[in-house]
């Protein structure tokens, strides 16, 4: 049984957070099934790998394009409403896709539109949901709240794909997508009941002004800009090495998908361990913790490049997952504390955008790199890049001086610092 500390128990005893937690847990159980169901749905309507790539890209591109807009919107209006309506939009889009699939009228472009709508909704949901946690949870409990949410998310990730495979095999991909639509609708209802704490209304400015201010808020804090650049290097290197080259390594050197699946399970297990660890441990040195946690992602890539025994690779994946999850929880809590509430949505959206934009380029460059350098050399280069990117921000005193969320109050806005 995972340790439920007093802070976690108190949070789950609070009706608003309990509804918020349940809503997100329910939604994650559906979303973990959706990618597999969508892939089989595309294949079922006659699409191939290229068509599946188009459908998946539609969701990513829509989300990236609208992230800055979503950040501004959730800073201007009630975030609980944004969360509710984004869930309803996904539920409706997927319900339409289910009807088309069941009736036999579905085409690849229908599924691409559905994925695009959900991606667009995600651009509004992500900053609004994180901002809603910052509003509804007292400052001293946000670290615990984020750890609980990540524990629920990772538990859903671990269990749902297997259940989704059974559902797809028994009833077909349409009904698995239908389950995701139901979870979105049910989550919207729970979010509506949870609500949020009232916050002070700020003076309205032009939308373009808000967009520019969000960008300014990101880069006026040197430590934040540096850490976003770090993530923009580490994230693509990890995804290219783990998602693209990992299965290829499994096929060539591990005898197929079986042993590579064990590695993937170890990483997912590490994510759960990291969330549990964050419930009982609140590190004081946030800068060092985030850099060390993200730097741990180099371990499994280096283990693959060195062709270590499978048990060593599994242990490296477990440590990487645990380190990453502690880093993510500490970082989310830190931002919720240090960024003023009426600027949090825009800052989070631009941060996410900066981290995600290089990912498509990394996917495109990985293939030619393997052809030129070889599989293991490319993985070694990715591990080296992650290590260097993890260490470099510690050269900045502002990063080394970052303390845990409980020790930091929200920073004043740049304009306030100028006028003081």
Residue 396 has pLDDT above 90, yes or no: yes
Measured in whole angstroms, the distance separating CA 406 from the mean position of its chain's CA atoms is 23
| pLDDT one-digit tens code per residue, 248-300 | 888 888 877 678 878 888 998 999 999 999 888 888 889 999 999 999 999 99
Average pLDDT over residues 324-329: 94
Triad 81, 87, 89: Cα angle to 5°: 100
Same domain, 226 and 359: yes
Same domain, 251 and 113: no
The domain tally of the chain equals 2
Give the integer Cα–Cα distance in Å for 391 and 123: 30
Residue 347 has pLDDT above 70, yes or no: yes
Same domain, 176 and 256: no
Q: Which residues contact 42 (CB under 8 A, 6 or more apart)?
A: 51, 52, 55, 108, 111
Same domain, 177 and 254: no
- What is the predicted pLDDT for the residue at 367? 82
Give the integer Cα–Cα distance in Å for 29 and 157: 7
SS3 290: helix
Between 350 and 120, the more confident residue is 120
Residue 205 has pLDDT above 70, yes or no: no
- What is the predicted pLDDT for the residue at 181? 93
| Residue 8 covered by a domain | no
Residue 412 has pLDDT above 50, yes or no: no
| 1 band by pLDDT with thresholds 50, 70 and 90 | very low
Closest CA to 98 of 210, 13, 185: 185
Average pLDDT over residues 5-26: 77
Residue 410 has pLDDT above 50, yes or no: no
Between 390 and 9, the more confident residue is 390
| Residue 58 covered by a domain | yes
| pLDDT one-digit tens code per residue, 157-174 | 776 666 766 777 778 889
Triad 239, 334, 5: Cα angle to 5°: 95
Same domain, 168 and 290: no
Residue 409 has pLDDT above 80, yes or no: no
CB 232 within 8 A of CB 357: yes
- What is the predicted pLDDT for the residue at 3? 44
| Residue 390 covered by a domain | yes
- What is the predicted pLDDT for the residue at 86? 94
Percent of the chain with pLDDT over 70: 88
pTM of the model: 0.77
- What is the predicted pLDDT for the residue at 159? 66
- What is the predicted pLDDT for the residue at 46? 86
Lookup: tokens for 306: 């060195």
The residues pairing with 285 across neighbouring beta strands, listed in sequence order, are 403
Same domain, 228 and 173: no
DSSP output for 112-124: HHHHHHHHHHHHH
- What is the predicted pLDDT for the residue at 414? 41
Give the integer Cα–Cα distance in Å for 404 and 326: 12
Between 13 and 60, the more confident residue is 60
Span of 56-70, 134-148, 392-406 with lowest mean pLDDT: 134-148
Same domain, 44 and 130: yes
| CATH classification at residue 177 | 1.20.1250.20
Domain containing 318 equals: 221-405
- What is the predicted pLDDT for the residue at 6? 55
Instruction: Name the phi and psi angles at 374, rounded to 5.
Output: 95, 160
Q: Which residues contact 255 (CB under 8 A, 6 or more apart)?
A: none
Give the integer Cα–Cα distance in Å for 411 and 420: 13
């Amino acid at each position: 049984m995972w340790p439920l500390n007093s802070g976690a128990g108190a949070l789950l005893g609070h009706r608003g957070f309990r509804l918020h937690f349940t809503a997100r847990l329910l939604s994650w159980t559906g979303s973990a099934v959706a990618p597999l169901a969508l892939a089989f749905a595309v294949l079922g309507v006659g699409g191939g790998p290229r068509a599946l790539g188009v459908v998946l890209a539609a969701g990513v591109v829509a989300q990236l394009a609208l992230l800055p807009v979503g950040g501004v919107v959730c800073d201007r209006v009630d975030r609980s409403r944004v969360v509710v309506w984004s869930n309803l939009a996904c539920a409706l889009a997927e319900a339409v896709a289910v009807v088309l699939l069941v009736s036999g009228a579905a085409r690849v472009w229908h599924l691409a539109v559905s994925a695009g709508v959900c991606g667009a909704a995600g651009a509004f949901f992500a900053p609004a949901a994180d901002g809603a946690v910052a509003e509804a949870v007292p400052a001293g409990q946000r670290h615990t709240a984020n750890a609980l949410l990540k524990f629920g998310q990772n538990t859903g990730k671990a269990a749902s794909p297997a259940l989704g495979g059974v559902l797809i095999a028994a009833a077909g991909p349409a009904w698995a997508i239908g389950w995701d639509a139901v979870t979105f609708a049910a989550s919207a209802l729970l979010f509506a009941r949870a609500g949020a704490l009232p916050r002070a209304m700020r003076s309205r400015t032009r939308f373009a002004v808000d967009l520019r201010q969000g960008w300014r808020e990101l880069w006026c804090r040197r430590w934040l800009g540096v850490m976003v650049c770090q993530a923009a290097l580490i994230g693509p290197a990890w995804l290219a090495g783990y998602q693209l080259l990992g299965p290829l390594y499994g096929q060539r050197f591990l005898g197929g998908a079986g042993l590579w699946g064990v590695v993937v399970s170890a990483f997912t297990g590490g994510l759960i361990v990291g969330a549990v660890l964050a419930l009982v441990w609140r590190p004081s040195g946030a800068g060092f913790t985030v850099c060390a946690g993200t730097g741990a992602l180099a371990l499994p890539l280096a283990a693959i490049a060195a062709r270590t025994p499978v048990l060593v690779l599994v242990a490296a994946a477990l440590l990487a997952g645990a380190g990453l999850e502690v880093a993510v929880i500490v970082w989310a809590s830190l931002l919720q504390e240090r960024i003023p509430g009426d600027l949090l949505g825009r800052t989070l959206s631009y941060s996410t955008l900066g981290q995600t934009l290089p990912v498509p380029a990394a996917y495109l460059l990985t293939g030619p790199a393997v052809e030129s350098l070889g599989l293991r050399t490319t993985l070694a280069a990715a591990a080296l890049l992650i290590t260097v990117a993890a260490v470099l921000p510690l050269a900045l005193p502002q990063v080394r001086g970052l303390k845990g969320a409980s020790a930091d109050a929200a920073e004043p806005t740049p304009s306030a610092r100028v006028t003081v």
